[in-house]
Amino acid sequence: MYTVGLQSAADAFLLSSLKAQVALALLVLFILLGFGFGSQKDGVVDGAPVFLPGSHLLAITPFFRRRFEFLNDGFRKTGQTLFQFNMLRETVIVVSGESARKSFFANKHFDLTEGFKMLSGAIPVVKGVTSNLQTKRIAQIHKRLSSVQRNEHLSGLIAPILEDCRRVMETWGPSGTFDPFEKIYELLFQITVRSLSCEELADDPVQVARLKELYDTLDSGTTPATVLLPWLPGPSMLKKLWATKKIYDIVVRAIDERERSGISKPDTLQMLLDEKDERLVIVGFILGLLVAGARATGTTASWLITYLGDHESKDEVIAEVEQLLANYVSPNVSRSLSQQLSSIPLEAWESETPVLDSLIRETLRIAQPHTAMRRNLGPDMTIDGKTIPSGAYVVYPFSDVHLNPDLYPDPWRFDPSREEATVPFGYVGWGGGKTHCLGQRLARLELKLVTSMMLLGFRYSLIDKKGEQLDTPPQPNWNDILLCRPEQGSCYLKHERSVLSL
């Protein structure tokens, strides 16, 4: 468990001299080299995937910082569809191609949690806070996530989500410009806090901003060292621990307050409390899913709205949503856009929006820079005739299928009229095989509500930093594994409110 002392230790270390930090880094490097980490294994074992040439120690940073380029380079340098490299003592095998994809997604011994824990490192493992989230508790969290997405609960979220959209969009003013990768992301963060936690937090913009800032600290603090040497109290690790502790405190305070008040509220926290789950499951649910939910939906919404900037399907979406309004909402000029949209039932959002569905599908194909990560917890097995040893980490970059020009011609072109490629696992935007996104229903609803508010509430177009019209949207940056953000300053939205009342 955290101790109060940890925070002061972290603060002190962050303020300690650069000299001390450099000395510590050199010491660690020396120890690692002394123990022979990073040296390449000589002589390829029969049936083993080929090793990436060069020092493996040097492979670590690009795997975290420029993953798309690094993996593509690996396939090019080895000339193979599978290759391996060492992450300190661990073996990482990168796979690609149709038959590898089939084995990867179907293998029941390939474990997502173990793979993710080692190769992602988003949230530090903290005894009593995140380390005890073993399989049983994770299964419990997943069960609750499916309860959040039952018809009744999900329907109940529509009006509060739209109200959040209204409130946040009001702050953008009647006209102006903004960076969609900041503002739309912020909006989705707000909505995620609303959907997955409680009113006390979601109704307090200061707390939401603070939580976002802390999660950003966790993200930006992920370095090769924090992932591979989590026991090493380096500055990034201490910063991450400190941020995790702060998030933990905010969430626990909100839970305590609710319990103490004895007042029942119609939100997700109440549902978790009513189920009488143990405290660790409730905290784990909010702490873990906030980050999983906000990042993926934030990235997708930012890109979806950016791509729609000057795309012809913008009018089709507007027509689709206007049709829903005509079908389900009695005309009443005094009602705001968000109030009108909240009268459209969940079933209509889910089954009568083919245009929005195709836009979401294409956005996930082109702007979701995911690399699926697993650990082989079963016996040795083979993929494409190559051995995947027991205990090895296996990774599959989604670019192998989603940016493959044989499956999706001109893959960087945003084209919502594309169909999913009809080869096995030809589209994995929401996962595949035995791993599917467990938050998909909520995520899709959020994306549809935000997009509708944006398109019906504003006229907007894409401009560059000089204010000039952009002819084409920027290209998603797959090296940015979290947000896929294009170069800062390359694209802004110029908007003007088009309704009297959001």
| Residues that constitute the known binding site for heme | 437
Residues 6+ apart with CB under 8 A from 464: 470, 490, 491, 492
Residue nearest to ligand HEM (CB): 439
User: How large is the angle between the packed helices 235-261 and 4-15, nearest 10 degrees?
Assistant: 150
Which CB, 434 or 459, lies closer to ligand HEM? 434
Order of strands, edge to edge, in the sheet holding 458-463?
175-178, 492-497, 458-463
Contact present, 369 and 401 (Cβ < 8 Å): no
**Strand-pair partners of 71:** none
Least Å distance, CB 364 to ligand HEM, is: 5
CB count within 10 Å of CB 54 equals 11
Least Å distance, CB 181 to ligand HEM, is: 15
Least Å distance, CB 153 to ligand HEM, is: 12
Least Å distance, CB 347 to ligand HEM, is: 20
Contact present, 306 and 493 (Cβ < 8 Å): yes
Contact present, 187 and 209 (Cβ < 8 Å): no
Residues 6+ apart with CB under 8 A from 304: 359, 360, 363, 447, 451
CB count within 10 Å of CB 48 equals 17
Q: Which of 213, 220, 299, 357 is nearest to 477 (CA)?
A: 299
Least Å distance, CB 397 to ligand HEM, is: 11
Which CB, 149 or 236, lies closer to ligand HEM? 149
Which CB, 86 or 197, lies closer to ligand HEM? 197
Which CB, 112 or 252, lies closer to ligand HEM? 112
The radius of gyration computed from the CA coordinates of the chain, to the nearest angstrom, equals 24
Least Å distance, CB 278 to ligand HEM, is: 19
Q: What is d(CA 334, CA 198) in angstroms, rounded to the nearest whole number? A: 30
Which CB, 70 or 430, lies closer to ligand HEM? 430
Instruction: List phi, psi (to 5°) of 93.
Output: -115, 125
For the chain, counts of helices (H) and of strands (E): 21, 13
Which CB, 416 or 429, lies closer to ligand HEM? 429
Q: What is d(CA 471, CA 462) in angstroms, rounded to the nearest whole number? A: 8
Which CB, 22 or 139, lies closer to ligand HEM? 139
Least Å distance, CB 288 to ligand HEM, is: 8
Which tokens in the block code for residue 145?
């996530």
Which CB, 430 or 460, lies closer to ligand HEM? 430
Is the four-CA dihedral 448, 450, 455, 457 of positive or negative sign? positive
Least Å distance, CB 336 to ligand HEM, is: 26
Which tokens in the block code for residue 123?
């949230």
Applying CB under 6 A, the residues found at the interface with ligand HEM are 112, 142, 145, 196, 289, 292-293, 296-297, 300, 364, 368, 370, 372, 429-431, 435, 437-439, 442-443
